[in-house]
């Protein structure tokens, strides 16, 4: 592959929110994965496990979406405030039929947000909640003045309102969130969002429920009927190895599943392109963001685990899915304003897996680590002869380039030549992950099979950079100085 990097040509900003996370009341994501309780022997601060927070802070998580997912449209926020002993116990109907005791509620979520030092994305209930309930939640969260809800918050020992950066009006309203038609949801969206009031100078970014995968009709109707009332509209697309009903295993999979999963992830490019074309007709200025608030690989659960808990292992193949998808989001940085991988801990394509007091970082985590420098970087264009098995992003921040490359081939190494237009490269530092087996992964016995290592297989002379990219690898080179 030979590329010329247009290092001085201005490009769109890659929003840091593309690196967002999704944490639902599902399986062991919130309970065990995030929340262990103040009395736990697992080190915690105010009930939230410290090892997980420290790991997530390292990759600079910018935003967390909560409480769902399908759970969001059955969640009644008042069940999760006030003294623990009075909180309602409910059945988590979507996810395993387990008891949800509402220990982790609004205050606990914002404690997590505070510990992570990131923004909150709260998803409201349209499917089984009322406008009044949603209005009261936003009031409780954000009102600095006098009101029954602001005073209730104070009774629950929180004086100041929280910062509510993002608010979603329903989740998958075309499916688990109410099985609605787009025309019906568009009207409900207009109504519900009216009562997502602004109580201070802090503006909340309002997100309408967008389409599933390639439901272009849904996008068309929503944009036609509700564009002026939204800041963003969501899109969900999961990578699969084949049919939805027949999910492939996370480990011990055949080679054709490697490529089918990656291909399914690559479909994100077509989806964003086509949805953006529709959005362009109603919003040519690109004010409204496409918010891909659920994405990632959805594989068969680990044998012996609760099928409703969606617990899957995470391999170097998932790292490919993450790198390829993030590269696609970057490419569409002019429209994609946020994305939230599903999910943060112990569910689907997780960053982190826990087992009692133990915690491991997944290959996907390491991609988020390798890619951190692209957060809020300027997208840099390039041209030349591309290779279908190589996916890349080049961005610039504070005058320094970051080049990320992903080799999707299971057995072929590639040599790449990258010429920097208008000037020599600054000194480059390389880091990478790779593996020799398609299902290489970290386990609680061997937690560092895949970890970030220094990468030196490159040569740089003035404006000419030559890189040898091993198979199954994600490499990042960063200009570190002159
Ligand atoms: O992430 C798991 C589930 O996938 C979410 O709850 C739902 O929104 C989607 O169908």
Q: Please write the tens of the pLDDT for every residue from 263-285.
A: 999 999 999 999 999 999 999 99
**Is the per-residue pLDDT at 154 higher than 80?**
yes
Average pLDDT estimate for 111-119: 98
User: In the chain, which segments carry CATH 2.60.40.1180?
Assistant: 382-479
Listed residue (338, 370, 339, 356) closest to 473, CA to CA: 370
pLDDT at 370: 98
Query: Ligand 1 atom closest to Cα of 310?
Result: 2
pLDDT digits (tens, 9 = 90+) for 343-391: 999 999 999 999 999 999 999 999 999 999 999 999 999 999 889 999 9
Nearest CA owner, ligand 1 atom 9: 69
Nearest CA owner, ligand 1 atom 7: 69
Separation CA 205–CA 15 (nearest Å):
14
Write the CATH number of the domain with boundaries 382-479.
2.60.40.1180
Separation CA 295–CA 31 (nearest Å):
22
Q: What percent of the chain has pLDDT over 90?
A: 99
Other Cβ atoms less than 10 A from the Cβ of 32: the count is 18
Residue 301: band (very low, low, confident or very high) from pLDDT cuts 50, 70, 90: very high
| Distance from the alpha carbon of residue 93 to the mean position of ligand 1, in angstroms | 13
CA neighbours within 13 Å on the CB side: how many for 101?
A: 8
183 is catalytic: no
DSSP string, 415-454: EEEEEESSS---EEEEEEEE-SSTT-B--SSSTTSS--EE
Separation CA 122–CA 131 (nearest Å):
15
Torsion of CA 180, 124, 247, 301, to 10 degrees: -150
DSSP string, 305-354: S-GGG-----BHHHHHHHHHHHHHHHHTTTTEEEEEEE-SBSSSS-SEEE
- Most ligand 1 atoms within 8 A of CB, residue of 294, 299, 350 to mutate: 294
pTM over 0.90: yes
**Is the per-residue pLDDT at 482 higher than 80?**
no
- Most ligand 1 atoms within 8 A of CB, residue of 20, 24, 170, 173 to mutate: 24
Listed residue (372, 344, 371) closest to 359, CA to CA: 344
| ipTM confidence score | 0.99
Distances (CA, A) of 291 to 208, 271, 332, 391: 9, 12, 11, 22
Write the CATH number of the domain with boundaries 15-376.
3.20.20.80
Hunting for tokens 């890189």 — which residue is that?
467
Q: Is 122 exposed, middle or buried (0-12, 13-18, 19+ CB in 10 A)?
A: buried
Of 32, 172, 225, 479, the catalytic one is 172
pLDDT digits (tens, 9 = 90+) for 378-431: 999 999 988 999 999 999 999 999 999 999 999 999 999 999 998 999 999 999
Listed residue (306, 382, 368, 319) closest to 340, CA to CA: 368
* DSSP conformation class of 100: E
255 is catalytic: no
User: In the chain, which segments carry CATH 3.20.20.80?
Assistant: 15-376
| Distance from the alpha carbon of residue 172 to the mean position of ligand 1, in angstroms | 8
| Distance from the alpha carbon of residue 424 to the mean position of ligand 1, in angstroms | 47
| Distance from the alpha carbon of residue 69 to the mean position of ligand 1, in angstroms | 5
Query: Is 207:231 a contact under the CB 8 Å cutoff?
Result: yes
The answer to whether the bond into 67 is cis (omega within 30° of 0) is: yes
Average pLDDT estimate for 188-217: 97
Residue 39: band (very low, low, confident or very high) from pLDDT cuts 50, 70, 90: very high
**Is the per-residue pLDDT at 90 higher than 90?**
yes
Hunting for tokens 């935003």 — which residue is that?
63
Average pLDDT estimate for 443-457: 98
**Is the per-residue pLDDT at 336 higher than 90?**
yes
Q: Is 428 exposed, middle or buried (0-12, 13-18, 19+ CB in 10 A)?
A: buried
Residue 481: band (very low, low, confident or very high) from pLDDT cuts 50, 70, 90: confident
Query: Ligand 1 atom closest to Cα of 95?
Result: 6
Of 24, 74, 294, 479, the catalytic one is 294
> Which residues does a 6 A CB cutoff place in the pocket of ligand 1?
24, 68-70, 171-172, 294, 342-343, 348
DSSP string, 122-164: EEE--SS--HHHHHHHHHHHH--S--HHHHHHHHTT--SPPP-
Separation CA 319–CA 88 (nearest Å):
39
């Amino acid at each position: 592959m030979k590329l010329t990097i247009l290092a001085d040509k201005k490009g769109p900003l890659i929003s840091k929110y593309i690196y967002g996370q999704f944490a639902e009341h599902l399986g062991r994501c919130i309970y065990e994965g995030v929340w262990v309780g103040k009395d736990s022997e697992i080190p915690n601060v105010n009930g939230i496990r410290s090892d997980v927070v420290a790991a997530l802070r390292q990759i600079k998580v910018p935003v967390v979406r909560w409480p769902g997912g399908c759970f969001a449209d059955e969640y009644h926020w008042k069940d999760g405030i006030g003294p623990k002993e009075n909180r309602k116990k409910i059945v988590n109907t979507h996810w395993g039929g387990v008891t949800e005791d509402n220990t982790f509620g609004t205050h606990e979520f914002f404690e997590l947000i505070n510990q992570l030092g990131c923004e909150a994305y709260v998803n409201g209930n349209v499917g089984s909640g009322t406008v009044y309930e949603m209005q009261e939640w936003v009031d409780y969260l954000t009102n600095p003045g006098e009101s029954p809800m602001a005073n209730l918050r104070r009774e629950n020992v929180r004086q100041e309102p929280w910062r509510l950066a993002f608010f979603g009006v329903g989740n998958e309203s075309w499916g688990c969130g109410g099985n609605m038609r787009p025309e019906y949801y568009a009207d409900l969206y207009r109504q519900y969002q009216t009562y997502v009031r602004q109580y201070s100078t802090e503006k909340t970014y309002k997100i309408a429920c967008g389409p599933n995968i390639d439901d272009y009709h849904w996008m068309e109707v929503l944009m036609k009927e509700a564009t002026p009332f939204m800041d963003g509209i969501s899109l969900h697309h999961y990578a699969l190895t084949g049919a939805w009903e027949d999910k492939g295993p996370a480990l011990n999979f055949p080679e054709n599943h490697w490529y089918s999963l990656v291909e399914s992830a690559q479909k994100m490019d077509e989806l964003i392109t086509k949805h953006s074309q529709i959005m362009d007709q109603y919003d040519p200025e690109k004010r409204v963001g496409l918010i891909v608030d659920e994405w990632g690989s959805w594989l068969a659960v680990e044998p012996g685990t609760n099928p409703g808990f969606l617990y899957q292992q995470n391999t170097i193949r998932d790292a490919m899915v993450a790198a390829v998808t993030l590269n696609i989001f970057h490419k569409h940085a002019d429209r994609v304003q946020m994305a939230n991988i599903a999910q943060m801990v112990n569910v689907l394509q997780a960053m982190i897996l826990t087992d009692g007091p133990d915690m491991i970082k997944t290959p996907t985590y390491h991609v988020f680590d390798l890619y951190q420098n692209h957060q809020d970087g300027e997208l840099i264009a390039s041209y030349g002869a591309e290779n279908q098995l190589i996916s890349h992003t080049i961005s610039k921040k504070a005058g320094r380039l970051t080049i990320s490359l992903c080799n999707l081939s299971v057995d072929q190494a590639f040599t790449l030549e990258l010429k920097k237009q208008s000037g020599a490269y600054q000194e480059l530092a390389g880091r990478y992950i790779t593996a020799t087996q398609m299902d290489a992964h970290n386990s609680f016995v061997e937690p560092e099979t895949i970890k970030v290592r220094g990468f030196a297989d490159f040569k740089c002379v003035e404006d000419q950079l030559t890189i040898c990219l091993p198979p199954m690898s994600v490499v990042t080179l960063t200009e570190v100085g002159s």
